[in-house]
Amino acid sequence: MGELDLIRWIRTRGLPGARRGLVKVGPGDDCAVLAGQGTGWDLLLKTDGVVAGVHFGRNASAGLVGRKALARALSDIAATGGEPVAAVVHAALARRHAGRWARELQKGLARAAGLWRCPVVGGDVSATPGPTTLAVALLGRVERGRALLRSRARPGDRIFVTGELGGSILGRHLRFDPRLAEGRWLARRPGVGGAIDVSDGLTRDLGHILEESGGLGAELSAGMIPVARAARRMKGDPLGHALADGEDYELLFTVRPGRAGALVRSWPFRTRLTEIGVVRGHGSGLWLRENSGRRRRIRPAGWEHLITA
């Protein structure tokens, strides 16, 4: 069973124990969205983790591992248009990561918490015979009814992405900045449709938006994809890395065609913003228009956490 197959199966089980009117968005989006009863806010809940040998290598700085653990969850808050409130962290530490490494890890978490105004208010520490694993549970908030969701793309929407893509394994995957300010700004703009953060790869994450929006298609323009310098330093096709590497943690979102120009003109950030394609109708598939003008069908590609058995 693959990762997406497992998630689909979980979603068929419903939400046992949920109180009526509490859960606005459950499994299947970047964050769960809960009604903030009696307030002008909706609450965001997110959990994410990093695993040694999967999300960081043997020689990775403990401080940067702590930073990444918090930043990954914050990136999902950003993709929902929210702001963080507080986090709790569970650290399951292998023997070699006890002691000094663990203290440096906490320092990295603390620096990240201060930088992004997200206090780590508790958690748990345990030992493990397996790889060191950190799990972050994060509470956020967004103005009531303004959460950005994967399911809101429409045919004709223009597709945008922040920053540059590809080659994150060369170091950016440990040092990225979650696009919190950009996400908050987008949540307040008219015409923003489906949204997600690019963690598993551009085409794979775009596929999530298209699927959650009712099985839409899309066409990307190869010449418009913002390929990172790191992707050009790696073996293979730089564009291929930008389309599928993942761990870029940029925002990928759609905008209604009549609103796209105004959004670009009013973009207030130094962060690069690029229009890369257009959403097509139901069942039309995913296409790439090459610089030559040739149009070819492509399959969503990126990181798969579980291997189908």
Helices (H), 234-304: 238-244, 260-266
Let me know whether 157 and 286 are in one domain.
Answer: yes
Residue 275 half-sphere exposure, CB side, CA atoms within 13 Å? 17
Boundary residue ending a domain (127, 143, 159): 143
Phi, psi angles (nearest 5°) of residue 227 = -85, 125
- Domain-embedded: residue 284: yes
CATH number of the domain at 53, please.
Answer: 3.30.1330.10
Let me know whether 65 and 105 are in one domain.
Answer: yes
- Domain-embedded: residue 17: no
- The C-alpha atoms of residue 98 and residue 62 are separated, in whole angstroms, by 11
Let me know whether 113 and 197 are in one domain.
Answer: no
* Model pLDDT for residues 175-186, shown as the tens digit of each residue: 999 999 999 999
Let me know whether 28 and 139 are in one domain.
Answer: yes
Let me know whether 154 and 292 are in one domain.
Answer: yes
Q: How large is the average pLDDT for residues 221-235?
A: 97
Nearest CA-CA partner of 197 in 86, 74, 87? 74
Has residue 1 got a pLDDT over 80? no
Count: domains in the chain: 2
Boundary residue ending a domain (143, 171, 197): 143
- Domain-embedded: residue 7: no
Q: How large is the average pLDDT for residues 51-75?
A: 95
- Domain containing 41: what range? 22-143
* Model pLDDT for residues 84-131, shown as the tens digit of each residue: 999 999 999 999 898 899 999 999 999 999 999 999 999 999 999 989
Has residue 306 got a pLDDT over 60? no
| Mean pLDDT estimate for the chain | 93
In sequence order, what are the residues at sequence separation of 6 or more whose Cβ sits closer than 8 angstroms to the Cβ of residue 227?
A: 164, 165, 166, 238, 239, 241, 242
C-beta of residue 52 within 8 angstroms of C-beta of residue 92: no
Tokens at 239, concatenated: 């564009």
The pLDDT score that the predictor gives to residue 234 is: 95
Confidence of residue 12 (pLDDT cuts 50, 70, 90): low
The pLDDT score that the predictor gives to residue 300 is: 87
Report if pTM > 0.75.
yes
74 or 17: whose pLDDT is higher? 74
- Domain-embedded: residue 4: no
CATH number of the domain at 158, please.
Answer: 3.90.650.10
* Model pLDDT for residues 160-218, shown as the tens digit of each residue: 999 999 999 999 999 999 999 999 999 999 999 999 999 999 999 999 999 999 999 99
76 or 18: whose pLDDT is higher? 76
Has residue 7 got a pLDDT over 80? no
The pLDDT score that the predictor gives to residue 309 is: 44
Q: How large is the average pLDDT for residues 272-297?
A: 95
**What are the distances in angstroms from CA 139 to CA 19, 109, 136, 198, 264?**
19, 16, 10, 21, 30
Q: Summarize the chain as % helix, strand, coil (round to 5).
A: 30, 30, 40
Let me know whether 103 and 26 are in one domain.
Answer: yes
Cβ burial 269-307 (10 Å sphere, 16+ → b, else e): eeeeebbbbbbbeeebebbbbeeeeeeeeeebbbeeeee
Let me know whether 154 and 284 are in one domain.
Answer: yes
* Model pLDDT for residues 24-36, shown as the tens digit of each residue: 998 889 999 999 8
Confidence of residue 19 (pLDDT cuts 50, 70, 90): confident
17 or 277: whose pLDDT is higher? 277
- Domain-embedded: residue 226: yes
- Domain-embedded: residue 309: no
Let me know whether 131 and 166 are in one domain.
Answer: no
Has residue 305 got a pLDDT over 70? no
C-beta of residue 105 within 8 angstroms of C-beta of residue 91: yes
The pLDDT score that the predictor gives to residue 98 is: 87
209 or 15: whose pLDDT is higher? 209
Tokens at 250, concatenated: 């940029």
- Domain-embedded: residue 307: no
